[in-house]
Amino acid sequence: MAWKVVFYETEAGESPVWDFIFGLPSKDQAKVVRALDLLEEFGLELRAPYVRSVTGRRKLWELRVKGIGGAYRILYFAFTGQRMVMLHAFAKKTKKTPRREIAMAEKRMDDFLRRHEP
């Protein structure tokens, strides 16, 4: 069974990661979509330079994309049914992933699990 990329949605049906991606320049959008395709194809086997584990209280990963407009990160986690849930996306401006970005992803992960786990 292949992996499937799904996007976190708020209770109002908004998808912050989707909105972030489509706010990028078209060439960078294409690079992000290619990275998401690789994630679906290889799942947990995809390694650096495309993905990296993120330190936090939960098992988060970051999808790493180098675009023309800069570096981008999408924080995600693996969920049952071979799904990768994209939680939060941001433009990388510092060497280390900012704690507030990790906190946002963890908050969305908690919300997702609350609404999707039995």
Convert the pLDDT of each residue in 42-101 to its tens digit. Answer: 999 999 999 999 976 679 999 999 999 899 999 999 999 899 999 999 999 888 889 999
Structure tokens at 10: 């708020």
Average the pLDDT over 14-42 and give the result: 96
Quickly list H helices, 22-75: 26-42
pLDDT of the residue at 57: 65
Query: What is the reported pTM?
Result: 0.94
According to DSSP, the β-strands at 70-79 and 83-92 are: antiparallel
Q: What is the CATH number of domain 4-116?
A: 3.30.2310.20
pLDDT of the residue at 55: 75
pLDDT of the residue at 1: 64
According to DSSP, the β-strands at 4-7 and 83-92 are: parallel
Structure tokens at 24: 């990028």
Q: How far apart are CA 49 and CA 9, in angstroms?
A: 27
**Environment class of 13 (CB within 10 Å of its CB; exposed 0-12, middle 13-18, buried 19+):** exposed
